[in-house]
Each structure stands twice: as structure tokens, then as C-alpha cells.
């Protein structure tokens, strides 16, 4: 612990003193609870706390710029009527979500969002009619618009690839709040509320997160978190260990995220009902977490909010939830690092508390805190405020529970190494290095990824202590009984569909709390 003491004292100054006083701020991320932990959510720079309007207004294309392209190629575009010229114009085209973005043709050499060229036009294909024509041409039109758009490709194969994707996307079902019946509230946090809802058309049960736009657009950091969350949910689609987004839409006052509903509840509630995990159970849990974080880190995304409250249980397996603090790290800014102080203070990494630029390393620290937490029922530096946490890091050696194997102890110590460069999982191989740690000896990670059954899965209770057997049996309903939502006051809109005919990117409205690209339909 002497190295921790020296490092903390070395960085203890005005910045760390400011960080240690963050306990005065009582903000919460969705799914957390005041009685359990306090949340840090403050940028190292004061710029993040300034109102967005004072900084020149929000960027309505921020999410589109963050969304990776699923298709990209040179396109020749012609519109019969409208803003585009009547002749064929050559563009570099990318499909980002449900939107087609058109750049100057020279942009085909662009390789990432760090240096994105100017976007010329943008349009949505949702609700469109897409048809193949002769000469490697696709015709896109809307029944409520006289403006058809023709897209010509260099090869038949390229045309077919785009046609199949666009045709499927155009036929997707989009929803509004009227498509759902509210069943019960199941969560609340700083950014929004969560409800169990029922799809009126299919009868399927979902979790509906409602985010108040007023809070999102109030400050730069809140806006960035909302964009990052929506982008991250797109990024983790079809991964077995993340919650799955099914619909997304917006009204004039709210954002809505519709994800699968997982009856197992969260890991915090599981630990509360069943007690701490056995080491063999934590081993299976950690293997799934390593694969999940490995995927995010490969995309250069730092999660920053690992804790039992954000781990949902799905038929014995994990589903990571709440991406409000996720961030895509880009080399154009601070060489791929960030400096925002956020997350749960008992989980915060030293490099974050020292108000230094940090990267993926903070997720490895929180992974160490997490495994200790589920094994012992509390975090290793547990305290009621941040100042005391820092004191404990300085002065109190970690107390390991009796009976813990030497390999598990070594894993936790390696993850809680003070200096990021010496921390387990922060070497050249990244978090993948954990797979070869003795703690995971004999673990078949391919079988783990395929969610194959084994005896150490955390199966949720089929009946709670009160004898309840319904889909809410693993949720503490008394905690959320005062949470409500007035859907009658919502003015509904499916905003992305209005981006037709092709709109000049510079003319996409920046007022009225609009964020292009938020809409997501389902087949």
C-alpha cells in the first residue's frame, strides 16, 4: 500500500481536493440508488457544466457523426425534383443507422470520425419504397412526396448489397409512446425513468427508458452522455452480454429507449436476496464480463460505470445495462484519453480521482472493485464519502475474505494496481490478457460466449420472499412506487422520417431539442 500512499499524496493538490469534494453533488445514474452509493458526474473542465445554448447550441448531427457506417461507397445521385441537381452528382455515401449521409467524393479516403469531412446532404430511408432498376440503379421514393431519388452504383454486386439493406430498413416498424401499455415503474435515475411496458401490437414485454430532453440539452456533459448512450446501444447490438435495443424514438420533450426486459432483475437485488457469490460463481460472472468489456475496448469505448446495479440477469447470464457514461475515445482528442470524473465514487480509479487524462484502464480498476464487491458484499475501500474513500486507499490494506483462492486474490490485486501501466489487463494485449490468468484456468471462453449452460450460472428466483411469481418478482417495487410518467402531455413525432427529400446537412434544425439519427425501428 505504500505505492498507493505515495501516488495519492503525489497527486493530492487543488485538483484532487476538488475531486474529493464531489460528494456534495447528489447526482445519480439510471438504476442506482441513493442508499447504496453516491455518483460522481462532473467534468474535469468547467466547460461541461456550461449551458449548451451559451456555447452556440447543440449539434443536431452529433449522433450521426458518432454512428459507424454499415455501408459505404461512391454513389451517383439524381433527384427528379428538389434540392439536388437534375443531373447525376457524384458523392461518397454512407449508411449510418437509418440515414444516408452524402459527402464530397474525395471523402472516400476518410477512415474515422476523428477528422470527418463536411457532410453535404442527409436523408432517411424509413418509410420509403425502395426498388431495383436497370443499370445498377436503386429508386427511393416516399408515397407522401413527389421527389424520387435515384442512386447509381459502379457494379451490380454493390447495387445488390445496398438494395437488400435499404429495402429491409425501409420496411421496419417504427413506434411512438401510444404503441405501449405501461405496466409498472422499475427504475429511476438522474437521466430518466424506466418502466415495464407491453407492446400493444405484439404483446411483448419491454423496458422503456424515458429521458427528459430538458435535462439533456441543459449542459454539454449531459448532451454528450445522451449521445454516447444511444451510440453505444447501437454498437452492442446482437452481443450476448449487453442489453438489446429494440426501438428508439423521440418526442418534442423526451427521448425513448425500448430494450428487452430481463425478469432476473439486477445483480444488486440478487446479492441482497441471496448473499455474496461463491468464488466459482464469480469466476463464471467475471468470464462473461471480460468478454463484454473486451468487445467495448476493441471498439475503443470505455464503460466507466461497472457495478452490480448495472448488471441484469438473463436466464443465468449477465446483460450489461446503462450506457450513459460510456465514451468513445478518439485519437484526435488528448491522444485517445478523456478526463471526465464520473461513475460511483467507491469504484473510481486513482487516475480519475487525480483529475488526470485516462483511458480504458479505469474499466480494469472497476472490474477489480466489482469482483471484490460480489465476493464480500462491499467494496474494498467502502466509505460514506469520497474523502474517506481516498483516506482508505491511502491507509487501509485490502482485507480479503477467508477461503479465497490465491489465484482470485492475485487477480484482484493485479486489477487494483495503482499505476495503470502496471495494472493487469492494461498491457499490450489489453483486457484479453485476463483470459490467460490462472484464475480462469480451464475456462472455455468460446463456450462462455455461446452462453452454454453450466452449474455456476446465476439463475434468478422463480418466486420472491412474498410468494410473487410474475415478471416483477425480482424487483423491489416499493422503491419505485412513486415514479410516474404523463404520456398524455407528449407531442409525438418520428423526427428522422421528416428528413426527406435529401436535406442539406447544414440546414438540419439545431433548435427544438432535435437529435438526428435517434430513431430506430424493428423488423
Residues annotated within the binding site are 209
Task: Give the Cα separation of 424 and 433 in Å (integer).
Answer: 8
Task: Give the Cα separation of 267 and 223 in Å (integer).
Answer: 28
Q: Scan for cell 417495487, then name that residue.
A: 477
Cis peptide upstream of residue 501 (ω within 30 degrees of 0): yes
Task: Give the Cα separation of 104 and 111 in Å (integer).
Answer: 14
The answer to whether residues 177 and 492 touch, using CB atoms and an 8 Å cutoff, is yes
Task: Give the Cα separation of 393 and 459 in Å (integer).
Answer: 34
User: What are 367's three cell numbers?
Assistant: 472490474
The answer to whether residues 371 and 286 touch, using CB atoms and an 8 Å cutoff, is yes
The answer to whether residues 411 and 424 touch, using CB atoms and an 8 Å cutoff, is yes
H helices of 108-249, in order, are 156-170, 213-216, 220-235
Task: Give the Cα separation of 407 and 394 in Å (integer).
Answer: 25
Q: Residue 386's closest CA among 17, 46, 4?
A: 17
Q: Which secondary-structure segment (H or E) carries 90? A: strand 89-96
Q: 59: buried, middle or exposed (CB in 10 Å: 19+, 13-18, 0-12)?
A: middle
* C-beta neighbour count of 28 within 10 angstroms: 19
Task: Give the Cα separation of 448 and 287 in Å (integer).
Answer: 7
Within 8 A by CB and 6+ apart from 211, the residues are 191, 192, 226, 254, 255, 256, 257
Residues 111, 117, 119, CA angle at the centre, nearest 5°?
120
User: Rounded to the nearest 10 degrees, what angle do helices 406-415 and 279-298 cross at?
Assistant: 30
The answer to whether residues 313 and 471 touch, using CB atoms and an 8 Å cutoff, is no
Task: Give the Cα separation of 127 and 402 in Å (integer).
Answer: 61
Task: Give the Cα separation of 345 and 184 in Å (integer).
Answer: 30
The end-to-end CA distance of the chain, in Å, is 55
**Which residues have a catalytic role annotated?**
305
Binding site per annotation, positions for ATP: 209
Amino acid at each position: 500500500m505504500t505505492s498507493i500512499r505515495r501516488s495519492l499524496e503525489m497527486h493530492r493538490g487543488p485538483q484532487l481536493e476538488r475531486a474529493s469534494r464531489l460528494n456534495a453533488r447528489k447526482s445519480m445514474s439510471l438504476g442506482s440508488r441513493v442508499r447504496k452509493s453516491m455518483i460522481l458526474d462532473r467534468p474535469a473542465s468547467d466547460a461541461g457544466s456550461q449551458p449548451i445554448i451559451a456555447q452556440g447550441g447543440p449539434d443536431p448531427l452529433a449522433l450521426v457523426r458518432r454512428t459507424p457506417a454499415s455501408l459505404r461507397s461512391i454513389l451517383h445521385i439524381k433527384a427528379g425534383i428538389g434540392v439536388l441537381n437534375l443531373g447525376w452528382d457524384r458523392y461518397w455515401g454512407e449508411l449510418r443507422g437509418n440515414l444516408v449521409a452524402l459527402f464530397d467524393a474525395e471523402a472516400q479516403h476518410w477512415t474515422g470520425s476523428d477528422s470527418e469531412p463536411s457532410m453535404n446532404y442527409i436523408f432517411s430511408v424509413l418509410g420509403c419504397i425502395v426498388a431495383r432498376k436497370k443499370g445498377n440503379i436503386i429508386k427511393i421514393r416516399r408515397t407522401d412526396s413527389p421527389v424520387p431519388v435515384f442512386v447509381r452504383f459502379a457494379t451490380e454486386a454493390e447495387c445488390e448489397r445496398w438494395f437488400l439493406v435499404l429495402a429491409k430498413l425501409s420496411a421496419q416498424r417504427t413506434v411512438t409512446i401510444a404503441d405501449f401499455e405501461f405496466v409498472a415503474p422499475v427504475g429511476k435515475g438522474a437521466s430518466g425513468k424506466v418502466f415495464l411496458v407491453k407492446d400493444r401490437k405484439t404483446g411483448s414485454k419491454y423496458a422503456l427508458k424515458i429521458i427528459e430532453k430538458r435535462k439533456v440539452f441543459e449542459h454539454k456533459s449531459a448532451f454528450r452522455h445522451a449521445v454516447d448512450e444511444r451510440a453505444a446501444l447501437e454498437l452492442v447490438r446482437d452481443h450476448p452480454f449487453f442489453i438489446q435495443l429494440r426501438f428508439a424514438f423521440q418526442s418534442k420533450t423526451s427521448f425513448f429507449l425500448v430494450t428487452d426486459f430481463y425478469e432476473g432483475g439486477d445483480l444488486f437485488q440478487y446479492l441482497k436476496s441471496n448473499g455474496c457469490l461463491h468464488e466459482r460463481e464469480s469466476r463464471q460472472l467475471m468470464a462473461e464480463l471480460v468478454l463484454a468489456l473486451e468487445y467495448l475496448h476493441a471498439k475503443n469505448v470505455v464503460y466507466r460505470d461497472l457495478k452490480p446495479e448495472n448488471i441484469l440477469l438473463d436466464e443465468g447470464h449477465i446483460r450489461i445495462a446503462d450506457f450513459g457514461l460510456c465514451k468513445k475515445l478518439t485519437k484526435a482528442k488528448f491522444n485517445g484519453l478523456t478526463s471526465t470524473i464520473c461513475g460511483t465514487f467507491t469504484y473510481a480509479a486513482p487516475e480519475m480521482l487525480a483529475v488526470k487524462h485516462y483511458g480504458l484502464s479505469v474499466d480494469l480498476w472497476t472490474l477489480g472493485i466489482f469482483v471484490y464487491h460480489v465476493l464480500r458484499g462491499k467494496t474494498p475501500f467502502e466509505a460514506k464519502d469520497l474523502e474517506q474513500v481516498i483516506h482508505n486507499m491511502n491507509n487501509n490494506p485490502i482485507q480479503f475474505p477467508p477461503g479465497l483462492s490465491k489465484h482470485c486474490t492475485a487477480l484482484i490485486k493485479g486489477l487494483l494496481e495503482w499505476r495503470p501501466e502496471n495494472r493487469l489487463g492494461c498491457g499490450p494485449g489489453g483486457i484479453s490478457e485476463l483470459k490467460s490468468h490462472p484464475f480462469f484456468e480451464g475456462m472455455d471462453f468460446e463456450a462462455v460466449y455461446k452462453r452454454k449452460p453450466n452449474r455456476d450460472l446465476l439463475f434468478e428466483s422463480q418466486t420472491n420472499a412474498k410468494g410473487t411469481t410474475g415478471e416483477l418478482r425480482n424487483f423491489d417495487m416499493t422503491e419505485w412506487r412513486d415514479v410516474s410518467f404523463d404520456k398524455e402531455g407528449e407531442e409525438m413525432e418520428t423526427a428522422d422520417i421528416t428528413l426527406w427529400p435529401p436535406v442539406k446537412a447544414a440546414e438540419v434544425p439545431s433548435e427544438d431539442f432535435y437529435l438526428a439519427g435517434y430513431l430506430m425501428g424493428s423488423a
